[in-house]
């Protein structure tokens, strides 16, 4: 699933190509793509015709497009395979095109393409959260490390307050948002910590270090357009990111650790996988 850097790349593209434009028509090609819009596909399309997109915004892995009037936004979650693509009018349709936005200026269309249909869109009310307005479904999500209002010390307190394993806490979007499986593994490797460390016994300095490492690795990934293990993770122009070439542990099972040479290990984790260096990141002792 795309994480913060990948979603931020898409947000920047949307803001550049869509902000300030008026929607002429919305075509919902698959009702599942707007299943989170409770009134249904027809209402989704009708409510957006004639509306102007003011800005593209993001918190964690959630994207939204503010609508004129300042009270509503179109919220989008990419799921596992969702793509927000800007295409010329008349360009060949994508096989898994789910929603098409045509604009009053007759310029390029915005298309939501989603092969697995785990993503989706909806019109949502904007509500106050952390000093700004966000769609109601996003209000419970914590600030992410790239948000200007992010408070690292508050995140340290929230992380240590959780009574769980360190990696589980990093993935908890109510503690700090935007960190997913890839960047959690990379951050933990950078600071030499194992994801099964109990957060309750984590010293503040180590909590601070792992959050700083997550910020660092996601900033670097953003600079390279995100990580593209899957051809479906693309920006609005359909281009892939390149940070997968810089990954130290994630997806590197059996390859030598770049720091010590030990073979990278893969372990099952929450129906996914965790990648660690058994030498640099020793598993904590248990009673």
pLDDT tens digits, 96-110: 999 999 999 999 999
- Give per-residue pLDDT as tens, 175-215: 999 999 999 999 999 999 999 999 989 999 999 999 999 99
Q: Of how many residues is the chain composed?
A: 287
61 is catalytic: yes
272 is catalytic: yes
Tell me the pLDDT of the chain averaged across its residues. Answer: 92
Model confidence at 222, pLDDT cuts 50, 70, 90, reads confident
Q: Which of 11, 58, 61, 208 is catalytic?
A: 61
Q: Which of 3, 6, 109, 186 is catalytic?
A: 3
2 is catalytic: yes
Model confidence at 287, pLDDT cuts 50, 70, 90, reads very low
Q: Which of 16, 116, 255, 272 is catalytic?
A: 272
- Give per-residue pLDDT as tens, 1-27: 678 888 898 999 999 999 999 999 999
Model confidence at 80, pLDDT cuts 50, 70, 90, reads confident
259 is catalytic: no
């Amino acid at each position: 699933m795309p994480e913060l850097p990948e979603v931020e790349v898409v947000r920047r593209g949307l803001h550049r190509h869509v902000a300030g434009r008026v929607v002429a028509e919305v075509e919902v090609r698959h009702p599942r793509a707007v299943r989170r819009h409770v009134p249904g596909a027809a209402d989704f399309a009708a409510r957006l015709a004639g509306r102007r997109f003011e800005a593209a915004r993001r918190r964690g892995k959630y994207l939204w497009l503010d609508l004129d009037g300042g009270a509503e936004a179109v919220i989008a979650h990419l799921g596992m395979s969702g793509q927000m693509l800007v295409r010329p009018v008349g360009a060949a349709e994508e096989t898994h095109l789910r929603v098409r936005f045509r604009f009053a200026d007759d310029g390029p269309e915005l298309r939501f393409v989603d092969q697995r249909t785990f993503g989706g869109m909806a019109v949502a009310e904007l509500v106050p959260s952390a000093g700004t307005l966000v769609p109601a479904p996003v209000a419970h999500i914590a600030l992410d490390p790239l948000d200007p209002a992010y408070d690292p010390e508050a995140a340290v307190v929230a992380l240590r307050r959780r009574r769980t394993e360190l990696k589980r806490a990093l993935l908890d979007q109510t503690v700090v948002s935007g960190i997913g499986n890839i960047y959690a593994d990379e951050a933990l490797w950078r600071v030499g910590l194992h994801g099964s460390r109990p957060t309750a016994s984590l010293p503040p300095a180590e909590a601070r270090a792992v959050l700083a490492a997550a910020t660092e690795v996601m900033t670097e990934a953003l600079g390279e357009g995100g990580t593209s293990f899957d051809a479906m993770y693309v920006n609005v122009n359909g281009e892939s990111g390149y940070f997968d070439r810089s990954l130290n542990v994630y997806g590197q099972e059996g390859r030598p650790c770049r720091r010590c040479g030990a073979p990278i290990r893969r372990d099952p984790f929450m129906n996914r996988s965790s990648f660690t260096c058994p030498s640099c990141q020793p598993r904590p002792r248990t009673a």
